[in-house]
Amino acid sequence: MVQGAAEVAVAGFIWVVMHLGLSSTRLRGMLVNTIGTPWYLTVYSLVAAACLVYFISIYMHVPRMIYLWHPNPELYWVPKIGMVFALILLLGGFFVRNPSMVGAKLRAEEAVSLATGVTRITRHPGQWAIIIWALGHIVVNGDLVSVVFFSSFAILSFIGSFLIDKKKAQAFGHAWLTYASVTSNVPFLAVMRGRTRLKLSELRLPVVIGLVAYALLWYLHESYTGTVVF
């Protein structure tokens, strides 16, 4: 039983280190200079996909016998509500031009205007969607294997959001500082501090698409996870 958790921990370590090592260290620059950006992105994507498949396969097959806490049906509402918000952020991020995304450009004169839609909530909607998804599944599972598995995603996305900020600040300079001044990494922080304000008209499409996606995932959840959503 402990061995299963250890296997997942090793796979999770590989998953996190691979991402951070290839994207946020000098190795990235060396690879880009050697093989060029297009080939680097190709290699990175293939390695990431292979690590993810390995990680998921280990998680799906090891026994989950050690519980840090027992699942509590009264807490099932946590991922149910969290996943709605996560999907709105994740899918809403595709409907805005976000300079925090890979390959995106940013000019100083457009920095303020790019804070729109879900980026008013957080400038890293994809990263926080993963964090919310992971934390919700940690709460309702409780077994050591699941805690290790989902924590790996939450940790990677949380650290990744700050590393993205650092890289973008170096790449865009003052333009990024302007954009960061009207957005926030942590969801709703810029709104609460008065640096921006939510506009419901900009969130209608993300909310509709997010709810549709949530309904589909609810319906298909048992088929791809083996677990029924109550």
Tokens representing residue 27 in the block: 């190795």
* Distance separating alpha carbons of residues 174 and 223, to the nearest angstrom: 48
**How much is the pLDDT for 229?**
62
Tokens representing residue 206 in the block: 């993300």
* Distance separating alpha carbons of residues 117 and 105, to the nearest angstrom: 18
Tokens representing residue 25 in the block: 């260290």
Count CB neighbours of 69 within 10 A: 11
How much of the chain exceeds pLDDT 90, in percent? 63
Tokens representing residue 164 in the block: 């993205």
**How many helices (H) does the chain have, and how many strands (E)?**
9, 0
Mean pLDDT on 178-196: 96
End-to-end CA distance of the chain: 27
Higher-pLDDT residue of 22 and 75 is 75
Amino acid at 14: I
Per-domain boundaries in the chain? 1-63, 65-225
**How much is the pLDDT for 170?**
92
Q: Are 118 and 89 in contact (CB under 8 A)?
A: yes
* Distance separating alpha carbons of residues 154 and 173, to the nearest angstrom: 28
Count CB neighbours of 79 within 10 A: 21
- Give the H or E element holding residue 224: helix 200-225
Condensed to tens digits (0 to 9), the pLDDT of residues 130-154 reads 999 999 999 999 999 999 999 999 9
Condensed to tens digits (0 to 9), the pLDDT of residues 156-185 reads 999 999 999 999 999 999 999 999 999 999
- Mean pLDDT for the chain overall: 90
Condensed to tens digits (0 to 9), the pLDDT of residues 27-64 reads 777 887 888 888 888 888 898 899 899 999 999 888 88
pLDDT grade for 212, boundaries at 50, 70 and 90: very high
Amino acid at 69: W
Q: What is the largest CA-CA distance in the chain?
A: 57
Q: Are 98 and 154 in contact (CB under 8 A)?
A: no
**How much is the pLDDT for 224?**
67
